[in-house]
Structure 1
Amino acid sequence: MDYFRNIIQKLGIDGALFFTLIYRGLQATGALFTIVFIAAFLNKEEQGYYYTFGSILAIQIFFELGITAIITQFVAHETASVSFHNYKMKGNPLASSRLSSLLRFCINWFIIVCLLLFVTLIIVGFIFFNTFNTSSNINWQFPWVILCFSTAVNLFYIPLLAFIEGLGYIKIASKIKATQQFVLILTSILFLLLGLGLYASPIALLVSCAIPPLYILFSKIKLLLKQIWNDLSIYKVNYFKEIFPLQWKVAISWASGYFIYQLFNPIVFAKDGAEVAGRVGMSLAVINGILTISLSWMNIRIPQLSKLIAQRNFTELDIVFRKNFKNANFFSFLGLFISVVFIIILNYFSFSLGKRFLSVIPFCIMAFCAFINQFIGGLAIYLRCHKKEPLLIYSFVIAICTATFFMIVGSSNGLMGIVWSYFFITTFISLPWVIYIYITKKKQWHTQLY
């Protein structure tokens, strides 16, 4: 028992990280289980629509505008002046009032954003699939509408959970996410077994959207949120003076991320059709599932890192960062290595499931790029916890390069042209650039009065 306890301590796994890993693990294993059922109950064209749905839905990033990450950071900085006991808040009235204004801002902002997202997704989806639809036998219209509605509803709860994480109740937020993910997996598989086809995922997501409000309503965290909501006084967070100067920079960086990470599948769908896009989507589902787990070591520490920065405790900050950064990179490498071996085995023994993934060479290239992106993501989290956005120019330039390379090289060289372009940009432009920004900005910020 002591041996396993020591291993857990070395890996930095506490209660909050444990439930986060369960949530991320459910995402990853759920993706693997879903892959099997998708291969069994959806044909190759439907698989292409299934994963291209996800890539188009990712345009919600243009509506979030980075505000969820900012909420967690701002809330964590304010909690440096208050304390929590038995779901009650005590401390600086200024900080408690500012927390109240942040909570109200979350709710009001995302009511409008969710409505705009729903309408936009409907329009963009119909234009895209009507333009590049290669099969009249696929009934995608109604599943798409349901999926757009479910996505908009789900988006509403994301900032609330980010707020709870910023308060330091990461364990509770992770429990909610894990429970929702578990329900999503079970219902997705059930609906696929029932033969609902492309309807399975949209309806499953809609069902899982009931978990966050029900959990909060019947738990003690409701008491704390109610107190914070009622603590508003004259002290408020000024959106245009405090949030907006950071948000517009983060928003551009996040929006650029769509072109860096999500443009891949729609371009392949338009160029090579639904079947090839399905193979790309299923491969990325495995790779991204691994990254969601590995980055947990970093994401879970955002409130802690932000608070240490607010306290100017840079020594402890770097200790916490290095430990979790190392664990994240280790798990990322291990998981991606296993996935590559898995694809090699599928191809070597000619299993039919192997035909639903990319072949060995493009899969290995994508896995390598994913490891680099995991490394970059860890450094980005550290930098952004300072309530600054030093990756604005980098993100914008990389997004332009990626989109340009994908469309030019992809149109003439197809899938492999896109894959090699992604490898070149990630390895020889993104990685050295972010390392340089990390080194220079860390030195600059930590030698100045924060």
Structure 2
Amino acid sequence: MNVYFRSLFNKLGIDGAIIYTILSRVFQAGGGILSIVVIARYLTKVEQGYYFTFGSILAIQIFFELGLSNIITQFVAHETAHLEWNGNAELTGSEKSKSRLSSLLHFCVKWFFVVGFLLIVILIITGYIFFNKYSKGNEIVSWQMPWVILSACTGCSLIVSPILAFLEGLGKVKEVAKIRLYQYICQIILLLIFLVAGFKLLASPLAVTITLVIPPLWILITYKKDLLLFIWKQTGKWKINYRIEIFPFQWRIALSWISGYFIFQLFNPVLFATEGPVVAGQMGMTLAGLNGVLSISLSWINTKVPLFSSLIAKKDYEELDTVFNRTLKQASLICGVALVFFIIVVYGLQVLKVPLGNRFLPFLPTLLLCITTFINQFISALATYLRCHKQEPFLVQSIIVGIVTAASTFGFGHLFGLMGIVIGYCSIICFISLIWSWIIFKTKKAEWH
């Protein structure tokens, strides 16, 4: 039996890092399903709208992170390719690579500390303006304190994120995925407890606040602290020049990620403002399930970023393509099966008139969003492959698609409501984003290799 499972895992490309990442996503998805049931039981439809719109506005952090965490992982992996491990907490080899790693770590800590603080201030102000303006006419909801706490936690989480990205670039993908798994489990359990206990919109902020300390505590009590201190002290004459090396790559990534906000996160705030928190809550609930599917399938791709970057640094393009093609097929299979299961469950709940079913969008918009989720999984994989070359060829495409999607969301949302938003979004992803992404992938791959 063990031999059978090992063979199956090999065919599906499942390794230790993927197992922990998948478990994190599974627990997150499973917890999401439980939280959906509990939210439907302990939050009103209006409160549900606030709950999911919180998440969409908090995603403004993209404008502050500017894709740097992802870049850190790739840069660290490129430098680590020229080093060897001496135990768990030391690296030997090129003094130049060690010095450059150290300079990158110094830069990350300083950059994210400042940016995290600015994010907290701007989130609090933005949330107060938005919810004060569009919450009139709805039932009285105590959203102020939850919003302040969530904003503070989001900023603090941003400060910690580059350290985890740095460790992933060092090849500690499995360990980082493992600690994130523990964090997700604790957060989900606490969220459910607080919801049942009647904390309403305070449930999520309290759960996030408590579990926020898990990654820093994990670093402090394990050899990761010694490893980071070792790298911190390896300062030398070689430094990674932010202006010359990182910024030309980052601003392209940043614009692509910012465009992603207008592609993926604009629905809830627009629906909240135009059709009210109930419809926004249905959209949020549906997207929560679909994003869970997407995150699980992309675990196959994202856990391979250090490997892709290392193979590119060594110019081993044949092995790179072999690993990527196999991984993409595995991710697409998982995504397709999960989406079919999701649409069957949601449709079944609605046909059987189970109360939980009316917390999701109707069948047709849900089906269209499932289609776009599968396509977005494919596009994200292609983009990750190319970005591991420390290039961002999707800049113009991301900006154009973001602008068109935002215009579609505002325009069709105003004219045709929910269906206008969903049909416009699905059409853009299927007929513009997908075709353009494939052309970019084939062109740049041939050019760079």
On whether the aligned pair clears a TM of 0.5, the verdict is yes
**Contact kept in structure 2, 1:28 and 1:292, CA below 8 Å:** no
User: Which of 151, 160, 164 is residue 161 of structure 1 equivalent to?
Assistant: 164
Deviation at 1:180, TM superposition (A): 1.0
User: Which of 230, 233, 240 is residue 230 of structure 1 equivalent to?
Assistant: 233
Q: Which residue of 2 aligns with 1:34?
A: 35
Q: What do you get for the CA RMSD once the two structures are aligned? A: 0.8
**Contact kept in structure 1, 2:22 and 2:299, CA below 8 Å:** yes
The amino acid of 1:332's aligned partner reads C
User: Which of 373, 376, 381 is residue 378 of structure 1 equivalent to?
Assistant: 381
The amino acid of 1:178's aligned partner reads L
In 1, the alpha carbon distance for the partners of 2:390 and 2:378 equals: 20
Deviation at 1:36, TM superposition (A): 1.1
The amino acid of 2:123's aligned partner reads L
Q: Which residue of 2 aligns with 1:66?
A: 67
Deviation at 1:142, TM superposition (A): 0.9
Instruction: Kindly indicate whether residue 409 of structure 2 is the aligned counterpart of residue 421 of structure 1.
Output: no
In 1, the alpha carbon distance for the partners of 2:414 and 2:227 equals: 54
SS at match of 1:168: coil
Instruction: Kindly indicate whether residue 222 of structure 2 is the aligned counterpart of residue 219 of structure 1.
Output: yes
Q: Which residue of 1 aligns with 2:147?
A: 144
Matched-pair identity in %? 49
Q: Which residue of 1 aligns with 2:362?
A: 359
Range moving further from structure 2, 77-86 or 239-248: 77-86
In 2, the alpha carbon distance for the partners of 1:125 and 1:210 equals: 24
Q: Which residue of 1 aligns with 2:281?
A: 278
Q: Which residue of 2 aligns with 1:90?
A: 92
In 1, the alpha carbon distance for the partners of 2:178 and 2:220 equals: 14
In 1, the alpha carbon distance for the partners of 2:81 and 2:5 equals: 33
In 2, the alpha carbon distance for the partners of 1:33 and 1:300 equals: 27
Q: How many residue pairs were aligned? A: 446
SS at match of 2:81: helix
In 2, the alpha carbon distance for the partners of 1:71 and 1:30 equals: 30
Matches within 5 A, 1:182-261: 182-261=185-264
Deviation at 1:70, TM superposition (A): 0.5
Range moving further from structure 2, 110-119 or 11-20: 11-20
The amino acid of 2:367's aligned partner reads C
**Contact kept in structure 1, 2:379 and 2:434, CA below 8 Å:** yes
In 1, the alpha carbon distance for the partners of 2:308 and 2:366 equals: 34
Q: Which residue of 1 aligns with 2:126?
A: 124
Q: Which residue of 1 aligns with 2:26?
A: 25
The amino acid of 1:125's aligned partner reads G
The C-alpha deviation readout for 1:172-207, integer Å capped at 9, x for no partner, is 111111111111111111111111000000111111
The C-alpha deviation readout for 1:101-131, integer Å capped at 9, x for no partner, is 1111111011001100001101110111111
Deviation at 1:219, TM superposition (A): 1.0
The C-alpha deviation readout for 1:121-165, integer Å capped at 9, x for no partner, is 011101111111142511111110011011111111111100000
User: Which of 397, 400, 404 is residue 403 of structure 2 equivalent to?
Assistant: 400
The C-alpha deviation readout for 1:197-241, integer Å capped at 9, x for no partner, is 000001111111010111111111221111001111111111101
SS at match of 1:213: helix
In 2, the alpha carbon distance for the partners of 1:221 and 1:144 equals: 33
**Contact kept in structure 1, 2:40 and 2:356, CA below 8 Å:** yes
The amino acid of 1:39's aligned partner reads A
Deviation at 1:85, TM superposition (A): 3.4
In 1, the alpha carbon distance for the partners of 2:25 and 2:304 equals: 15
4+ aligned runs moved over 6 Å, structure 1: none
The amino acid of 2:114's aligned partner reads I
The C-alpha deviation readout for 1:391-429, integer Å capped at 9, x for no partner, is 000000001000101111110100000000011101000
In 1, the alpha carbon distance for the partners of 2:7 and 2:188 equals: 32
The amino acid of 2:25's aligned partner reads R
Segments of 5+ residues of structure 1 without an aligned counterpart are: none
Q: Which residue of 2 aligns with 1:109?
A: 111
Instruction: Kindly indicate whether residue 6 of structure 2 is the aligned counterpart of residue 2 of structure 1.
Output: no
In 1, the alpha carbon distance for the partners of 2:116 and 2:227 equals: 25
In 2, the alpha carbon distance for the partners of 1:92 and 1:26 equals: 41
Q: Which residue of 2 aligns with 1:311?
A: 314
Deviation at 1:166, TM superposition (A): 0.2
Matches within 5 A, 1:338-353: 338-353=341-356
The amino acid of 1:33's aligned partner reads L
Deviation at 1:31, TM superposition (A): 1.3
Q: Which residue of 2 aligns with 1:43?
A: 44
SS at match of 1:373: helix
User: Which of 167, 178, 184 is residue 175 of structure 1 equivalent to?
Assistant: 178
**Contact kept in structure 1, 2:46 and 2:139, CA below 8 Å:** no
In 1, the alpha carbon distance for the partners of 2:128 and 2:438 equals: 41
Deviation at 1:86, TM superposition (A): 2.0
In 2, the alpha carbon distance for the partners of 1:302 and 1:252 equals: 20
Range moving further from structure 2, 49-58 or 25-34: 25-34
Q: Which residue of 2 aligns with 1:296?
A: 299
In 1, the alpha carbon distance for the partners of 2:73 and 2:285 equals: 31
User: Which of 381, 391, 394 is residue 391 of structure 1 equivalent to?
Assistant: 394
In 2, the alpha carbon distance for the partners of 1:84 and 1:15 equals: 19
In 1, the alpha carbon distance for the partners of 2:11 and 2:222 equals: 32
In the superposition, the TM-score normalised over structure 2's length comes to 0.98
The amino acid of 2:38's aligned partner reads F
Segments of 5+ residues of structure 2 without an aligned counterpart are: none
In the superposition, the TM-score normalised over structure 1's length comes to 0.98
In 2, the alpha carbon distance for the partners of 1:334 and 1:291 equals: 12
In 2, the alpha carbon distance for the partners of 1:222 and 1:86 equals: 14
